[in-house]
Amino acid sequence: MSDGYLLRIGTLIRDARRHQGQTQSELAEALGTSQSAVARIEQGKQNLSLDMLARIGEALDSEFVSLGHSGPQHLRVEGGRKLSGAIDVKTSKNAAVALLCAALLNRGKTTLRNLARIEEVNRILEVLASIGVKTRWLPDSSDLEIVMPDKVELTAMDEAAARRTRTVIMFLGPLLHEFDDFQLPYAGGCDLGSRTIEPHLSALRHFGLHVEATQGFYHATVGEDTPTRAIVLTERGDTVTENVLMAAARWEGETVIRNASSNYMVQDLCFFLQRLGVEVDGIGTTTLTVRGKAEIDVDVEYSPPRTRSRPCRCSRPPSSPSPRSPSAGCRSSSWRSSWRRSSRWE
């Protein structure tokens, strides 16, 4: 192997080890080798056999080597034929994970209809179950019922499940209203202060949240600070926008979020928050205004739209009555056209 290739593999191994919350010594013990050997591997200074790579992958629950298909890799497409028919379109994974986190805001029963039943959702459900949240799939459906406990038991969190998903970082927004001091496992191997984490922490400081890195955990403390001016996000990301929206939802004041993402999963979260009684203006734009509630305790049902490829500007939840149309909810021409393209062809 070339030195450059060894360094790339070493970096992958290091990131996977951190994702699992292991030290170099712990990985060395699992492999039956020394800490110095693991250090050389991560620095790209150690030749590796396929057997060793397989053992490292097993120890870190990660796949570093995969074998490609030995058959032909080419497809031949013959077009020129008229297509017609209909398909069932799945709901979005990205919308689903945000809604699961937002359910932590609600003391009442939350029912999410037609939710994507995928591995990422299952991981979050494992984490929620471990801290006392009751969840169940309704019979013969993809509808999920969520009931919060009287008290969330963060100390009982399933760390292994939490470390397998980046979504756990989105617990910060809802939980800062419940705890003055708490900790969460590292989210998906992201280092504190890296580009994917720092925008969250910078924005949530407006709500008094301060985070320090400890061994494998984010240690969070919550002060008395509240937003006194517009929160300008340092990154127009979907998850950071959603995290700040969830923090603002439980603050009984007006929060203005600038440089917000206008993507469909953020819109879905905004519509869900409206169902909870939170006022959200500017949906589909890069400036959101949120007027939250100190307590949220409602029984709510919500179904994320199956597709929306263009920003919606109407600021109404998908099934709320429309003053401009006899049909319910968001029915802008761009939404209708994107739905037709995605769910039916003729």
CB 244 within 8 A of CB 203: yes
Between the alpha carbon of residue 134 and those of residues 96, 108, 127, the distances in Å are 17, 12, 11
Q: Buried (b) or exposed (e) across 19-55, using 16+ Cβ within 10 A?
A: bbbbebeebbeebebeeebbebbbebebebeeebbeb
> Where are the domains positioned within the chain?
3-60, 93-318
Q: How many Å apart are CA 169 and CA 171, to the nearest integer?
A: 5
Instruction: Please list, in sequence order, all residues whose beta carbon lies within 8 angstroms of the beta carbon of residue 3, skipping any fewer than 6 positions away.
Output: 44
Choices 3.40.50.261, 3.60.21.10, 3.40.50.300, 3.65.10.10: CATH for 93-318: 3.65.10.10
What percentage of the chain's residues is helix, strand, coil (to nearest 5)?
40, 15, 45
State the residue for tokens 């003055």: 180
Mean pLDDT by 10 residues, the chain (346 residues): 78 86 88 90 88 87 67 77 80 85 96 89 94 95 94 92 86 94 76 63 93 85 90 92 96 95 94 97 96 96 69 48 36 36 38
Fold classification of 3-60 (topology level): 434 Repressor (Amino-terminal Domain) (1.10.260)
Residue-level pLDDT at 339: 38
β pairing state of 287-291 and 85-86: unpaired
Catalytic residue numbers, as ranges: 190
CA dihedral angle for residue 88, residue 92, residue 97, residue 103, rounded to 10 degrees: -60
Indicate the helix (H) or strand (E) that contains 185: strand 181-185
What's the confidence (pLDDT) of residue 67? Answer: 59
Residue 189 CA to residue 166 CA, distance in Å, equals 8
Catalogue the long-range contacts made by 206-212 (C-beta closer than 8 Å, 24 or more residues apart).
206/231, 206/255, 207/176, 207/247, 207/248, 207/251, 208/176, 209/172, 209/176, 209/247, 211/172
